[in-house]
């Protein structure tokens, strides 16, 4: 089996928003040899910090374990992050031959390991598993908690996997899902995204100031950037021109978010810039 470049399309069938994390189609510890099972995880990431603060760790790894750590990330809002199309280090050693790194897909859902699961995130979790079962011809019984196939692991916490699998099976068979159904309505961010222009090098308008303000608010503007500017930070924030310095900061932000580092502020970059 090659790299699983269909995973983003599979995720979109859930009806939940999907972000294709830059480079995902060729990311992996080699290609995925086969898909016989699905393993559900929680990230044990920070309790706060936005929708999917574990993105960089899941994509790049942590000391002692290289990334990618799973194919998918699942944000608290039900947003699906497609991180890798190749093999990921999400379950070793496995007690099940269908759920090894080489034989299964991993989903890392954001949760600190004890906080309640938002209903919308559980809805997306079930639907993503159901669409993966459909895509790879798997019964819902092949969806396992990490703790079911690796006795040293606790995740994902507090999800009754028998109930979860029953819901996945109902979805695969076309029955309505229990609990919240359908994608969430558009957020205020999605509404205003349609109004915002593409910002690129050389542009000179009011929206450039919005980019500057968002980058600063998100901690992507080190003091060295405005140290030599008249009025310092205030002067920098008021500048309406998109210069090389700003484009470099945009690239840094895009790198941190795992989206394409093109230096352009379009919908894919406006969304995380404006995320509440």
Under the rule (CB under 5 A), what is the footprint of Zn ion? 41, 146, 155
Instruction: Please state the closest distance from residue 128 (CB atom) to Zn ion, in A.
Output: 16
Instruction: Please state the closest distance from residue 41 (CB atom) to Zn ion, in A.
Output: 3
- Helix 244-257 to helix 206-217 angle (10° resolution) is 50
Q: Which is nearer to Zn ion, 28 or 45 (CB)?
A: 45
Q: Which is nearer to Zn ion, 109 or 138 (CB)?
A: 109
Where is 146: in which H helix or E strand? helix 146-149
DSSP state of 151: T
DSSP state of 142: G
Nearest residue to Zn ion on Cβ basis: 41
Residue 74 β-bridge partners:
80, 109
Return d(Cα 255, Cα 241) in angstroms, integer. 22
Q: Which is nearer to Zn ion, 144 or 146 (CB)?
A: 146
Residue 204 β-bridge partners:
241
Instruction: Please state the closest distance from residue 202 (CB atom) to Zn ion, in A.
Output: 46
Instruction: Please state the closest distance from residue 222 (CB atom) to Zn ion, in A.
Output: 35
The 104-109 sheet, strands edge to edge = 18-20, 80-82, 72-74, 104-109, 37-42, 143-145
Pairing assessment for the beta strands 37-42 and 104-109 based on DSSP bridges? parallel
Task: Check: CB of residue 107 under 8 Å from CB of residue 40.
Answer: yes
- Helix 161-172 to helix 119-136 angle (10° resolution) is 60
Instruction: Please state the closest distance from residue 106 (CB atom) to Zn ion, in A.
Output: 8
Q: Which is nearer to Zn ion, 66 or 248 (CB)?
A: 66
Task: Check: CB of residue 150 under 8 Å from CB of residue 101.
Answer: no
Q: Which is nearer to Zn ion, 106 or 258 (CB)?
A: 106
Instruction: Please state the closest distance from residue 9 (CB atom) to Zn ion, in A.
Output: 25
Instruction: Please state the closest distance from residue 90 (CB atom) to Zn ion, in A.
Output: 6
Task: Check: CB of residue 22 under 8 Å from CB of residue 259.
Answer: yes
Q: Which is nearer to Zn ion, 115 or 187 (CB)?
A: 115
Q: Which is nearer to Zn ion, 44 or 211 (CB)?
A: 44
């Amino acid at each position: 089996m090659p790299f699983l470049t269909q995973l983003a399309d599979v995720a979109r069938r859930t009806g939940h928003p999907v972000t294709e994390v830059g480079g995902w189609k060729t990311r992996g510890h080699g290609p995925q040899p086969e898909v016989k099972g699905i393993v559900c995880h929680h990230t044990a990431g920070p309790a706060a910090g936005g929708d999917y603060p574990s993105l960089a760790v899941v994509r790049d790894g942590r000391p002692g374990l290289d990334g990618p750590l799973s194919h998918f990330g699942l944000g608290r809002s039900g947003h699906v992050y497609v991180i890798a199309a190749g093999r990921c280090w999400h379950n070793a050693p496995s007690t099940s031959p269908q759920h090894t790194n080489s034989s299964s897909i991993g989903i890392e859902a954001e949760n600190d390991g004890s906080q309640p699961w938002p209903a919308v995130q559980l809805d997306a979790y079930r639907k993503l598993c159901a669409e993966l079962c459909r895509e790879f011809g798997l019964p819902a019984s092949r969806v396992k908690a990490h703790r079911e196939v690796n006795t040293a692991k606790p995740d994902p916490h507090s999800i009754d996997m028998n109930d979860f699998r029953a819901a996945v099976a109902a979805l695969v068979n076309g029955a309505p899902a229990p609990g919240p159904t359908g994608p969430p309505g558009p957020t205020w961010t999605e509404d205003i995204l349609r109004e915002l222009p593409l910002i690129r090098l050389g542009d000179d308008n009011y929206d450039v100031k919005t980019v500057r303000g968002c980058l600063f608010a998100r901690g992507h503007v080190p003091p060295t950037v405005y140290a030599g500017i008249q009025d310092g930070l205030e002067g920098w924030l008021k500048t309406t021109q998109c210069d090389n310095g700003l484009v470099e900061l945009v690239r840094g932000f895009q790198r941190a978010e795992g989206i394409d580092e093109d230096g352009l502020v379009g919908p894919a970059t406006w969304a995380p810039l404006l995320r509440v």
